[in-house]
Structure 1
């Protein structure tokens, strides 16, 4: 890295110029925040970019081994920004790469204005420092972006799973659990926890479990159903199974799954008529 007060002052005076040059050459056909036509969002985008420039120019004033740490709060704010969350990572990284070309151009302008200020070795050192720093910021941003994306994805998956096991409260402390879609191990675990909690919260005494929306009942699904029914018994909730279609019944028999000790019905209506 290189420290040069004149170069630092030169760049510091042009941070807004760098931002305006960046936006003027921005590809507005990209997906996400960079294609916005809303003036408020454009102004926000420019201020975010200018904040980056204000930090970056310190590369030529206070360079040190921990220099990249000054970008931590900037990276966190961009990762948390809703507009950038809707923008592909490749496009955001592409805009970071464009920053280095803007700075290389400014170094050339500085050399033309002050031809005696920097040696050839120092010019190359500036180029290397710019590229190395941009690459470091990109790596820092990409890691945080991917980490936060994974956290949001897991949260969304958990929310979907929770919503996929809704208890619908009826009358006389009864409720129905309409199961829809495939049930994997993770969903079965969350479903058990949610069903027990909701039944306890609603003080349910009898639960109708409808399987008409479940395409396949294999050994794992059957075992999870047994676990759930047994766990419900422990908190004073009896259960009825409905929607066990002929194809599923045939499969369960072939798998050796025994539903004989469980109150089963072909339809939810039949189950409800029995337990009026």
Structure 2
């Protein structure tokens, strides 16, 4: 004879599409646009498939098969988190939608109880309430954890891209390139200059680099030291380095800070640097 837990599980699975439709009828009231006001039919398809997966996942809780339930939770959390990250859905909107899912599924548990009053005991109801809510809480935990991991990975990738774009080594002729630096240089950006520029120059076969700092408004001791370190690294790699565009106020600040630029070839502008070094004639 099939256990009462198995019967409840099968009832939830058999009514999965009805539960999903009921949830869909309510989603227009959600505050998040991804759920309530999304005209894309592909999104509706995704939501239906993932809602069915949610129902299937939480239904495993009633079977009390811990290993299967845990495995299903991780699959669900990764699937849903990936989808919401890709669609830039705020986590609070997801939690609101899941709260409605929780409510809707439990309504069907109550319906099952009413249809099987002669078989369902108070102890069954209390136990189901416990495993259902504990299971859903774990579901939310795994989702939030995975959502955070994916958000953090995306942010790190974006920051890496921004840093790479902020250090463009631009080849202008055979073995010659320009590195225009624009904006403030903080510790993170200074570190990226040391890591990215020598690698890019090596990959491009650069033997002479023009660093233009006309777009840098502030040069303090840290910035100057990192610039000197970069030039030393490039020199060790056999690359000649020229610095152009040091602004008057930056030059004054450098003198006040006691910074020594005497060992570095400097020019008032990139145009002058290219002209004096003869690079213009090479192009």
The two structures have a TM-score, normalised by structure 1, of 0.92
Q: Does 1:16 align with 2:17?
A: yes
Q: 1:91 aligns with which of 65, 77, 93?
A: 93
The structural deviation recorded for 1:122 is 2.1
Deviation digits for residues 148-178 of structure 1 (CA, Å, limit 9, x no counterpart): 1111111110111011111111124221100
Identify, as 1 or 2, the structure richer in helix. 2
The structural deviation recorded for 1:83 is 6.2
Deviation digits for residues 93-143 of structure 1 (CA, Å, limit 9, x no counterpart): 222222221122112212221222222232122222221111110011101
- Mapping for residues 241-252 of structure 1, pairs under 5 Å: 241-252=243-254
Q: 2:151 aligns with which of 142, 149, 152?
A: 149
Q: 2:163 aligns with which of 157, 161, 164?
A: 161
Instruction: Name the CA distance, whole Å, in 2 between partners of 1:274 and 1:71.
Output: 67
Query: Would the alpha carbon gap of residues 258 and 83 (structure 1) be closer, same or farther in structure 2, given more than 3 Å must change?
Result: closer
- Mapping for residues 1-276 of structure 1, pairs under 5 Å: 4-26=5-27, 27=29, 29-32=31-34, 35-64=37-66, 67-81=69-83, 85-276=87-278
* SS of match in other structure, 1:32: helix
The structural deviation recorded for 1:260 is 1.7
The structural deviation recorded for 1:244 is 0.9
After the TM superposition, which of the residue ranges 45-54 and 63-72 deviates more from structure 2?
63-72
The structural deviation recorded for 1:205 is 2.2
Instruction: Name the CA distance, whole Å, in 1 between partners of 2:270 and 2:19.
Output: 67
After the TM superposition, which of the residue ranges 24-33 and 92-101 deviates more from structure 2?
24-33
Instruction: Name the CA distance, whole Å, in 2 between partners of 1:167 and 1:35.
Output: 44
* SS of match in other structure, 2:33: coil
Instruction: Name the CA distance, whole Å, in 1 between partners of 2:53 and 2:237.
Output: 57
Corresponding residue pairs, total:
275
The structural deviation recorded for 1:91 is 0.9
Kept after mapping to 1: 8 A contact 2:31/2:93: no
- Pairwise CA RMSD of aligned residues? 2.0
Instruction: Name the CA distance, whole Å, in 1 between partners of 2:81 and 2:196.
Output: 32
After the TM superposition, which of the residue ranges 77-86 and 93-102 deviates more from structure 2?
77-86
Query: Would the alpha carbon gap of residues 4 and 87 (structure 1) be closer, same or farther in structure 2, given more than 3 Å must change?
Result: same
The structural deviation recorded for 1:193 is 2.4
Structure 2: state its 5+ residue gaps: 279-283
Deviation digits for residues 69-102 of structure 1 (CA, Å, limit 9, x no counterpart): 3211121122222665410011112222222211
* SS of match in other structure, 1:128: helix
Kept after mapping to 2: 8 A contact 1:174/1:204: yes
The structural deviation recorded for 1:274 is 1.1
After the TM superposition, which of the residue ranges 168-177 and 136-145 deviates more from structure 2?
168-177
